[in-house]
Every structure is written in C-alpha cells, then in structure tokens.
C-alpha cells in the first residue's frame, strides 16, 4: 500500500516525503510537474517507490490502476502563485485536479489530506474556519475556498477521512525553487547576505513601517500536523495550521538578521538598533498590491486543538534560527 504525496517536489511536499522516510515509509509515490527541472533537487536523496507526472497520475487513478493500492493521499500539488491572473489555469490545476482526487479517495476509502490556504480569509481579521469569514482577494484564494466548500459538502457523508489544512505563512527548508513566491524569511536572508540590509514595505492605512503582521509558521509544524492526522484517521475537517501568533515583518527581519549575526559570533540587536544602523530599511508599498494584500493574519487554532492536536508551535526566533543555519550550511557545502 503506497502513500501518495502530490506536489512532492515542492516546498511542503518535499518536507512531507522526508518525514515519511524518517518514519520508515519507503512505499511513497511522488507526484508533481517538473516543468522547472531544478525542483528535482528537493527529492534528491529521498526513498521513493515511484515518481509520476501529475497528469499521468490522474489518468491512471481514473483508469483504476490504483484501486485498492493506496494507503493515503497527501495532496499538496497546486499553483500557489497569488499573482497568477490565468483563472482558467488556476481552477483546472487547483480546484478540478483536487476534486478528481477527492472523488477517488472517497470511492476507494482512502484518507485524503490536502493543502488549503489562509489566503481564503482575504482582508478579514477573523481567522476561524467558517464560510462567513472568507473573502478571497485573488483567483488563487478563490480556487482554495471553492474546494473547501466542496469538502464541507462531502464531510457529513464521507467514507474515508478528509482533512484540509489552511496553511498560514510557511517558511523553512526546500523552498528556494519558489523564487518570488518563497517566504519572506528566505528573501530576507538573501537580501541581508547580499546587501547587509533587509528591505521592508512602508506602512499604509495607519500601519507603521514594517508593522504589518503575519502568522509565520515553520514547515516543521506543518509536517507535524500532517503526520498527526495521518496517524489519527478519526480526525476530519478543515483546520487552520499556523503558529497562532501574529508577528511583525520587523520581527521577522530582526530574527533573520540576528540568526545570521549569531553564526558570525555577533550579539543580537533590537529592531530599533537594526533600523538605526541601516540593517532594516523601508521601501514604498507597491501599488500593484493595493487591495490584494493581507496586512494581518493570525491563525485561530481552537478547532485544531479541539480535534486533539496538542503540540506547541515553534517560536519565530527559534524556527528562523534553525532555517538560517540550514541555509548557511547549504552555502558552505
């Protein structure tokens, strides 16, 4: 019986494959689209039973090739570019693809764990997993919200576990291939290494410079949640997955800079000191993001905790330190 990870060569998918291998799972089928060939690096060194292109995988699923053969599907495959304007592509790739896999898993009694997104909340400030709090600002978020609605309709009569995870701002190893869509932790690290400074957006709408707040969550926590639900098939539903804390971009920038400084034997500095020294600077807010930008996110984890998940989440400074040390080790390799 195989465990399928879609989007396996992507950021979260690659971390899930590694976590499965660490648990002794070797019958793992990786599914992805290697249009960007360099993504293969995320799977280098992993133990896989097979690799399949996403289109081939769906065709084989619908042909019955995997009937009775799957232990679980961890569906992470999607276009995650929030600036993508091709709505037809987004809906095919995110909504329709997910719907076909959900249908198969329900017909064959296979647990289906999938990636949703905190982007469904849009500009709202209440992050609770219910329809009235959703306000997608782009077609990516809409594709995720629409699939969540389909899952809600399926949950009462489900024949196998279904768990959707609304990831907040995830950072951590194996995200470099995402380029401009990589986490701010990745961008801040490379800015600081190249220029000795980190550039943040100026404040808008009464928000001070760099004081926009996001729920930054380590990919370590994302992996732990997925593994916990894999181990507890009695848990189903749609759940926020974040740290549960809203941190400023200033705090993230300081965490990155201080983590780098720590590797060089330098003491940590306060945000005010880093601004005064020019290590943190501010640039005008991009007009293209006006009305499409979340100034504040903070995952409400009550539903996740009520489902039985009790693990504490990694603190920002600690998670960033681990990530920075990982990136610096890769630089030296």
Cα-to-chain-centroid distance, residue 305: 19
Residues 319, 171 contacting (CB under 8 angstroms): yes
* Residue 178: active-site member: yes
Contact call for residues 80 and 181 (beta carbons, < 8 A): yes
Out of 178, 293, 296, 309, pick the active-site residue: 178
First to last CA, the chain: 36
Containing 251, the helix (H) or strand (E) segment is helix 249-263
- How do strand 247-248 and strand 213-214 relate by DSSP bridges? antiparallel
CA 120/CA 134 separation, integer angstroms: 5
Report the C-alpha gap between 167 and 165 in whole angstroms: 6
Write the DSSP string, 210-238.
Answer: T--EE-EEEHHHHHHHHHHHHH-TT--EE
Q: Are the beta carbons of 170 and 244 closer than 8 angstroms?
A: no
- Give the helix ranges, DSSP H, for 112-248: 139-154, 184-195, 219-231
Active-site pick, 140, 142, 171, 192: 140
249 is catalytic: no
Distances (CA, A) of 204 to 86, 133, 174, 178, 257: 28, 23, 32, 27, 24
Q: Which residues pair with 72 in a beta bridge?
A: 3
Catalytic residues: 140, 178
């Amino acid at each position: 019986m195989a465990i399928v990870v879609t989007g396996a060569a992507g950021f979260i998918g690659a971390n899930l494959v590694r976590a499965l291998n660490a648990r002794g799972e070797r019958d793992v089928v990786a599914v992805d689209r290697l249009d960007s060939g360099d993504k293969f690096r995320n799977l280098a060194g992993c133990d896989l039973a097979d690799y399949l292109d996403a289109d081939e995988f769906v065709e084989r699923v619908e042909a019955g090739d995997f009937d009775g053969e799957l232990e679980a599907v961890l569906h992470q495959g999607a276009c995650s570019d929030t600036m993508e304007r091709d709505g037809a592509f987004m809906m095919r790739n995110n909504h329709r693809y997910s719907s076909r896999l959900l249908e198969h898993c329900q017909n064959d009694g296979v647990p289906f764990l999938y990636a949703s997104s905190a982007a469904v909340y849009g500009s709202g400030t209440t992050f609770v997993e219910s329809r009235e709090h959703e306000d997608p600002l782009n077609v990516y978020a809409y594709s995720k919200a629409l699939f969540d609605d389909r899952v809600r309709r399926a949950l009462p009569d489900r024949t196998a576990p279904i768990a959707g995870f609304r990831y907040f701002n995830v950072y951590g190893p194996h995200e470099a291939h995402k380029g401009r869509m990589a986490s701010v932790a990745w961008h801040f690290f490379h800015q600081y290494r190249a220029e000795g400074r980190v550039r943040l957006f100026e404040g808008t709408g009464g928000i001070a410079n760099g004081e926009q707040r996001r729920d930054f969550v380590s990919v370590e926590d994302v992996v732990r949640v997925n593994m916990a639900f894999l181990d507890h098939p009695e848990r189903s539903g749609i759940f926020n997955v974040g740290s549960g804390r809203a941190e400023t971009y200033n705090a993230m920038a300081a965490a990155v800079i201080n983590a780098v400084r720590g590797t060089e034997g330098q003491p940590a500095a306060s945000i005010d000191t880093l601004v005064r020294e020019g290590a943190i600077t501010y640039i005008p807010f991009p007009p293209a993001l006006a009305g499409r930008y979340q100034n504040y996110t903070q995952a409400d984890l009550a539903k996740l905790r009520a489902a039985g998940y009790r693990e504490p989440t990694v603190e920002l400074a600690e998670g960033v330190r681990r990530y920075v040390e990982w990136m610096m080790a890769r630089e030296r390799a």
